[in-house]
Amino acid sequence: MIEKMVKESEKGILIDIEVTTNAKKNEIGKINEWRKRIEIRIKEQPIEGKANKAIIKFLKGIFKSEILINSGTTSSQKTVLIPDKTKDDVVTILKKEIKSI
């Protein structure tokens, strides 16, 4: 299932995520099978880009790589870009981090 949320593109690896703000802690949640997105919980509120900055910082720490928001900057449903990882690397890291796997 996770492989459907991680896609390869010319620029790198794209991950479809759904963000929940005002969480108790920053963490990767579960897979939303209906929306085909990975839940990311962030402590910050979605005010003046604070949540987006927190997402980037949090995911940089997990993937040890540059992270860009490819689409959805004003939405809870986003696609992030990891330009310098392979799909296999990203899937392996996510499988270790996701709560429901």
Per-residue three-class SS string for 11-58: CCEEEEEEEECCCCCCEEEEEECCCCEEEEECCCCCCCCHHHHHHHHH
Q: Kindly state the average pLDDT of the residues 39-55.
A: 95
Give the domain CATH number at 18: 3.30.1200.10
Residue 99: predicted pLDDT: 62
Average pLDDT over residues 46-60: 95
Write down the pLDDT at residue 101. Answer: 47
The parent domain of residue 39 ranges over 2-97
Question: pLDDT per residue over 58-95, tens digit each?
Answer: 999 999 999 999 999 999 999 999 999 999 999 999 99
* Separation CA 69–CA 77 (nearest Å): 11
Number of domains in the chain: 1
Query: Mean pLDDT over residues 45-57, rounded?
Result: 94
Q: Which is more confident, 46 or 1?
A: 46
Length of the chain: 101
